[in-house]
Amino acid sequence: MHIVVCIKQVPDSAQIRVHPVTNTIMRQGVPTIINPYDLFAVEEALRLRDRHGGTVTILTMGPPMAEESLRKALTFGADRAVLLTDRFFAGSDTLATSFALATAIKKIGETFEPVDIVFTGKQTIDGDTAQVGPGIAKRLGLNQLTYVSKVSALDLAGRSIDVERRAEGGVQALKTALPCLITMLEGTNEIRRGSLPDALRAARAEIVTWSAKDAGIEDVTRCGLRGSPTVVKRVFAPTPRSEKAKIIEVSQAQLKATPKDQHKTLLPEALI
């Protein structure tokens, strides 16, 4: 069995600040991490491999420094890592991103071994669209399983998989055929601590690095800005409410003095 897990390197959002004057995002010096949602996908793939045998390939598209995230994923025990990096990819929206990733996954299948399952996270913490998974599935004709909370059964001989999927107002238990694409819900498992041998292997591992051409992308106009139907035209700060908030400063002493009638000043009469 061959599983491909897509991960994205993202800025650690907790550390991002906006420039107070220019209203631009200050990325310099902000550490990058593996998109936290993707760790649940990595773990689920490793569990399936541990139980059923096979290999796990990690794939990311990003700048050369995204290699760091791939090494990190290898320390958890993944078998192979592929970095898709090319200046043609810059400015990709989700349509262009899923095109590049889908083409690379096809190439991975041809170069190494056929792919049975593709995993992605539910969404990222930067772009946050949850559109890349469905985009890959559609392009590769994989059976699409989004918001999966549990892989209940996998029958490799029968080429079938059962999952539980978060739906509106309940959970759907679904059965489909391999190959499929799963977007994994957060909080569904706990990422392992990598073993020491895996850490050593990860440090030395050769990362397969592909340009657009290496990945089998012939038409680079389908990548990056040119391949993206969406255009970001304006970035702006939200306007403050025209009326200022009515500010009530309450000191510690006041708090203690008038507990009984506190709510009168603080909350609307209509409610009381």
Partner 1 sequence: MKKELPERFRNHKHVWVFIEQERGHVHPVSWELMGAGRILADKLKVELAGVIIGPPGEATLAAAQEAACYGADLVYTVTNPIFADYRNDPYTKALTDAVETFKPEILLLGATTLGRDLAGSVATTLATGLTADCTALDVDPDGSLAATRPTFGGSLLCTIYTLNFRPQMATIRPRVMPMPERVERPLGRLVEHPLAMAEEDIVTKVLKFIPDRDQAKSNLAYADVVVAGGLGLGSPENFQLVTQLASVLGAEYGCSRPLVQKGWQPAERQIGQTGKTIRPKLYIAAGISGAIQHRVGVEGADLIVAVNTDKNAPIFDFAHIGVVTDALHLLPQLTEAFRRRLSAHIRDRIAS
30 touches ligand FAD by CB under 6 A: no
Burial class (CB in 10 A: 0-12, 13-18, 19+), 29: exposed
- Binding at 23: pick from partner 1, ligand FAD, none (beta carbon under 5-8 Å per type): partner 1
Of 128, 116, 117, 121, nearest to 39 (Cα)? 121
- Binding at 62: pick from partner 1, ligand FAD, none (beta carbon under 5-8 Å per type): ligand FAD
- The structure tokens listed for 146 are 């989004």
Of 23, 90, 10, nearest to 235 (Cα)? 23
Minimum Å gap between C-beta 74 and partner 1 is: 25
- b/e sequence 198-234, b meaning 16+ C-beta within 10 Å: bbeebeebebbebebebbebeebebbbeebbeeeeee
Which range, of 61-69, 82-90, 189-197, 261-269, touches partner 1 by CB under 8 A? 261-269
Smaller CB separation from partner 1, 204 or 260: 260
Range 66-95, binding partner 1 (CB under 8 A): 93-95
- Binding at 157: pick from partner 1, ligand FAD, none (beta carbon under 5-8 Å per type): none
Binding site for ligand FAD (CB under 6 A): 6-8, 13, 35, 37-38, 41, 59-62, 92-94, 97, 101, 120-121, 123-133, 230
